[in-house]
Amino acid sequence: MPQTTTEQPAGAHRQMRDMPERRTKGIVPVLAFAGITVAVMQTLLVPVIKDLPTLLNSTPANATWVMTATLLAGAVATPIMGRLGDLYGKRRMLLASLAVMVVGSLICGFTDDLVTMIAGRALQGFAMGAIPLGIGIMRDELPRERLGSAMALMSSSIGVGGGLALPAAALVAQHTDWHTLFFGAAALGVLSMLLTVSVVPETPLRAGGGFDLPGAIGLSAGLVSLLLPITKGSDWGWTSSTTLGLFGAAAVILGLWGMWELRSAAPLVDLRTTARREVLLTNLASIMIGVAFYAVSLVLPQLLQLPESTGYGLGRSMVVAGLCVAPLGLTMMFVAPLYARISAQRGPKVSLVLGMLVIAIGYGAGLGLMSAAWQTVIISVVLGAGIGLAYSSLPALIIGAVDPSETGAANGLNTLMRSIGTSVSSAVIGMVLAHTAVPMGSVLVPSMKGFRISFLIATGAVVVGLVLAAFLPSQKDAMRPRLRAGSEGENGQEPESAAGSAGFRGRVQDAAGAPVPGAKVTLIDGRGRQAGLTAADQDGRYTLPAPTDGSYVLAGSATGYAPHACPVAYDGGGPTVETDLVLTANSPARRGAMSS
Structural domain boundaries in the chain: 19-211+266-470, 212-265, 495-595
Average pLDDT for the chain: 79
Q: Can you give the pLDDT at residue 11?
A: 37
DSSP secondary structure letter of residue 511: T
- Kindly state the percentage of the chain with pLDDT values over 70: 84
The span from the CA of 375 to the CA of 300, in Å, is 10
Residue 509 has pLDDT above 70, yes or no: yes
The span from the CA of 261 to the CA of 301, in Å, is 42
Alpha helices in 200-326 (DSSP H): 213-236, 241-263, 271-274, 277-305, 318-325
Q: Is 71:122 a contact under the CB 8 Å cutoff? A: no
DSSP secondary structure letter of residue 334: H
Please give the average per-residue pLDDT across 191-209, as a whole number: 83
Q: Which of 4-18, 198-212, 412-426, 526-540 has the lowest mean pLDDT?
A: 4-18
Task: Name the β-bridge partners of 533.
Answer: 522
pLDDT tens-digit map of 186-198 = 999 999 999 999 9
Question: Which of 561, 563, 522 is closest to 542 using CA atoms?
Answer: 522
- Per the model's pLDDT, the better-predicted residue between 205 and 117 turns out to be 117
Query: What band does 253 get if pLDDT is binned at 50, 70 and 90?
Result: very high
Q: Is 401:276 a contact under the CB 8 Å cutoff? A: yes
Question: Which of 34, 130, 155, 128 is closest to 73 using CA atoms?
Answer: 128
The span from the CA of 80 to the CA of 211, in Å, is 9
What CATH number should be reported for the domain whose range is 19-211+266-470?
1.20.1250.20
- 453: number of Cβ within 10 Å: 18
pLDDT tens-digit map of 467-493 = 999 888 765 444 443 333 333 333 333
End-to-end Cα, the chain, rounded Å: 27
- 368: number of Cβ within 10 Å: 9
Question: Which of 251, 252, 228 is closest to 240 using CA atoms?
Answer: 228
- Per the model's pLDDT, the better-predicted residue between 569 and 381 turns out to be 381
The span from the CA of 417 to the CA of 419, in Å, is 5
| CA distances, 156 to each of 364, 378, 398, 469 (Å) | 22, 19, 15, 19
Burial of 174 (0-12, 13-18, 19+ CB in 10 A): middle
Which homologous superfamily is 495-595 in? Carboxypeptidase-like, regulatory domain (2.60.40.1120)
Query: What global pTM score does this model have?
Result: 0.67
Q: What's CA 256's distance to the chain center, in Å?
A: 28
